[in-house]
Structure 1
Amino acid sequence: MEILPDSGRRAEWAALAAAAVTVVLWASAFVSIRSASAAYSPGALALGRLLAGTVVLGAISLVRRVGWPPRAAWPGIAGSGVLWFGLYMVVLNWGEREVDAGTAAMVVNVGPILIALLSSKLLGEELPRPLLLGMAVSFAGAVVVGISMSGDGHSSVLGVLLCLLAAVSYAGGVVAQKPALRHAGALQATTFGCLVGALACLPFAGSLVSEVARAPWPATANMLYLGVFPTALAFTTWAFALARTSAGRMGATTYVVPVLVVLMSWLALDEVPGALTLAGGALCLAGVAVSRYRPSRRKTAAVTAENRDGATQSSAT
C-alpha cells in the first residue's frame, strides 16, 4: 500500500473531493438544461448561463482580490473560454435538441478519450495502462447506458455532428486550460475563462433578451442555476483538481456523470432505469476506479530496483 506524506495525502483527497463536486453538479446540469431548453434557444441559454456565472465569479474574485491573470496564462484561458465555455455549451444545447439522450451520451463521451490523446501529444502526459484500460471499460459502459436510454428517440446526422463537435471542443478546452493553471489559480482561470466565453456568445444577446421576457420563471431559474452551480462552482472545482492531476485522469473521472444523470432522472423525473442502464452505469464506475489506480511507491521502487539489478548483471556478464 502506498504511504504518502500527510501533505501529499491531503492534497490528493482535496483534489478528489473537488472532482466529486464537479461531476455531481455537471450531472445536475443535464436535468436543468432539459427544463430550460423548452423556453430558451441554444445560444441564448448558453449566454444567460455564462453571464450568471461571470457575475458570481466576478463578485467572488473582487472579494478575494483576485487580480488580472499573468500574460503566460492568457493563451490557455482564452482557448478554454472560447472552446469550452463558449462553443461547447452552445453546440451541446443544440445537439440535445436533435438527438435522443442515449445518442448524445455516447457521442459526447468520446471527449475523455480525446483529452487523453491530446494531452499525451500536446502536453507530454503519459498514458499508463490503468488509464487506457479504465477509459475503455468506462466508454463501453457509456455506450451501454446510451443504448438503454435511446428507446424510440429520434436522431439526425446534424445532431450527431453537433455532439461530436461538443466532445472535440470540450477536449480542446481542457487541454488548453491545463498549462494555464501553471500560472493562474483555479478561481482566476475559471473567472476569466467564463468571461471570455460570455463575450464569445454575445451575438446571442438579442435572442436572450426577447426570450427572457416571455419565458416561464422555472426555465429562467434553471438557467440561473446552471450559471451559479454547474458553471461558477463546478468549473472552479474542476480547475482546482486539474491543477493537481493529469488531464487524462480528470477526463476519465467525468465518466461518472452519465451514472449520476440516470440517478437524478430517476429521482427528479421519475424515469426508472432498466437493468441494462444499471449494468452500463456499473461499468462506467468500474472503469473510473481502474483509471485512477496508481501502483504503490514501494512496488514501483521494487520493480525499478529489480530492473536495475538485472541491467547490472547483464553488463557484468
Structure 2
Amino acid sequence: MIPVGVSGGILLAAFSATTFGLSGPLATGLLGNGWSPGAIVLARIAIAAIALAPFTVVALRGKWHLLRSQAIQILLYGVLAVAGAQFCYFSAVATMDVAPALLIEYTAPAAVVAWLWITKGQRPSRLTVIGAVLAAAGLVLVLDLISGADLAWSGVAWAFAAMIGATAYFLISAETGSGLPPLALAGAGLVVGAVTLGVLAATGLLPMRANTDPTAYAFGSLPWWAPLLLLGVVTAAISYATGVAAIRLLGSRVASFVALLEVVAAVLFAWLLVDQLPGLAQLAGGILVIAGVVAVRLGDRDIA
C-alpha cells in the first residue's frame, strides 16, 4: 500500500508540474505581442511573490527567526532555483531552439540522482535507471528532437546552467531539517528571485519590452494583464508552493522525475491555447515519460 503522504506528494507534484506547464503557452501569446522574455519572467515572479506574501507571513508566524538562521538556504533558493533557472533558460533560447534547451534543462533529475549517489551514497536501483532511460526517451519524442534542432555552444552552456538551477530547486526544497515551512521557503525565495531578476533588468542583462495590446489565443483574445496574472498566480505562486510541499513529501529524486510531466502538460496546453496540435510521436513520448516516472517511484521504494 502506498503511504498517504507519498500518494498526496505525487498528486501535489503532478499538480505543480501541470501548472508550471501552463506558463509556456500563456507566455507565447505575450511574446507574439512583442513582450521580451525578460519582462514576462520578471512580472511573473514579482506577481508570484506578492500573491504568496500573505501566506508566507502566516507560515512564519512565531518563526521569524528562521529568516535569519536559514538566510543562506533562502538566498540559494531564490538566486539559483528561481532567478538563476529562469534567467539561464531564457538566455539559452535566445541562441538555440527551445526543444533542446528544455531537454538539457530537464536532465536535472539525472543530476539529482547523481548528487544523492555521490554525496549520500544513495545508489539508484535498476528500476530507477530504467525509469530515467524511459523518461529521457519520452522527452526526446515530446520535444520533437528527431526532426533536428539548431544548437549553439553558448546556448548549450546556458541550458546546462539552467539545469543546475533546476537541480538546486529539487535539492534545496527537499531539506527538512531547517524547520522552514514549505510556504515560507517558496514565498521568501520568490522575493529573492524577483529582486535578483530586477537587478539583472536594471543592468540591461535582462532585456525589457512590453506593451498593452490584447493578447491572442486559440479561443480568442485577453487583455494584456490577464495572462500576466495567470502566469504569476497560477504558474508561479501556486506551482512553487505546491512543488516545495511535494518535494518535502517525496524527496528530491522522485519529485524531480514527476516534474517531467511539466513538458507533457506544456504540449497539451499549447494545443488548447495556441492551437499547436501534438503529433503521435509526442503522445507516445508522454506515455514513456509517465512510464518512466512510475518506474522511478517503484525503484525509490526499493531503495527505501
TM-score in terms of structure 2 length: 0.84
Greater CA deviation, 216-225 or 76-85? 216-225
Question: Partner of 2:86 in structure 1?
Answer: 89
Q: 2:228 aligns with which of 192, 205, 223?
A: 223
- The whole-number CA distance in structure 2 between the counterparts of 1:177 and 1:73 is 13
Q: 1:156 aligns with which of 148, 152, 160?
A: 152
- The whole-number CA distance in structure 1 between the counterparts of 2:193 and 2:124 is 30
**TM-fit CA distance, 1:83:** 0.5
Structure 2 residue 171 is the aligned partner of structure 1 residue 175:
yes
Query: Which residue type is aligned with residue 233 of structure 2?
Result: V
Query: Which residue type is aligned with residue 34 of structure 1?
Result: T
CA contact (8 A) 1:50 1:198 kept: yes
Gaps of 5+ in 1: 301-317
- The whole-number CA distance in structure 2 between the counterparts of 1:60 and 1:10 is 25
Structure 2 residue 44 is the aligned partner of structure 1 residue 49:
yes
Gaps of 5+ in 2: 216-223
Greater CA deviation, 128-137 or 48-57? 128-137
CA contact (8 A) 1:112 1:251 kept: yes
- The whole-number CA distance in structure 1 between the counterparts of 2:6 and 2:169 is 23
| Counterparts in 2 of 1:196 and 1:69: CA distance versus 1, 3 Å | farther
Question: Partner of 2:220 in structure 1?
Answer: none
- The whole-number CA distance in structure 2 between the counterparts of 1:252 and 1:100 is 23
Greater CA deviation, 51-60 or 116-125? 116-125
- The whole-number CA distance in structure 2 between the counterparts of 1:265 and 1:271 is 5
Query: Which residue type is aligned with residue 190 of structure 1?
Result: A
Instruction: Deviation per CA, 1:204-233: give whole Å up to 9, x if none.
Output: 455799744x34353543233222112111
Q: How does 1:29-178 map to 2 (within 5 A)?
A: 29-38=23-32, 39-62=34-57, 66=61, 67-68=63-64, 70=66, 71-123=68-120, 125-146=122-143, 148=144, 151=147, 154-178=150-174
SS of the aligned residue for 2:249 comes to coil
| Counterparts in 2 of 1:94 and 1:84: CA distance versus 1, 3 Å | same
CA contact (8 A) 1:79 1:173 kept: no
Instruction: Deviation per CA, 1:236-281: give whole Å up to 9, x if none.
Output: 1111111112211111112222222222222222222222222222
Query: Which residue type is aligned with residue 80 of structure 1?
Result: Y
Structure (1/2) with the larger helix percentage: 1
Question: Partner of 1:272 in structure 2?
Answer: 277
**Number of aligned positions between the proteins:** 291
Question: Partner of 1:184 in structure 2?
Answer: 180
| Counterparts in 2 of 1:209 and 1:269: CA distance versus 1, 3 Å | closer
Instruction: Deviation per CA, 1:179-206: give whole Å up to 9, x if none.
Output: 2664211101101111111121122455
Question: Partner of 2:218 in structure 1?
Answer: none
TM-score in terms of structure 1 length: 0.81
Query: Which residue type is aligned with residue 40 of structure 1?
Result: W
Rg (Cα) greater in structure: 1
| Counterparts in 2 of 1:210 and 1:174: CA distance versus 1, 3 Å | closer
CA contact (8 A) 2:59 2:181 kept: no
Question: Partner of 1:239 in structure 2?
Answer: 244
Q: Percent identity?
A: 21
CA contact (8 A) 2:19 2:239 kept: yes
**TM-fit CA distance, 1:30:** 1.6
| Counterparts in 2 of 1:215 and 1:74: CA distance versus 1, 3 Å | same
- The whole-number CA distance in structure 2 between the counterparts of 1:295 and 1:83 is 26
CA contact (8 A) 2:13 2:243 kept: yes
| Counterparts in 2 of 1:237 and 1:69: CA distance versus 1, 3 Å | farther
CA contact (8 A) 1:116 1:251 kept: no
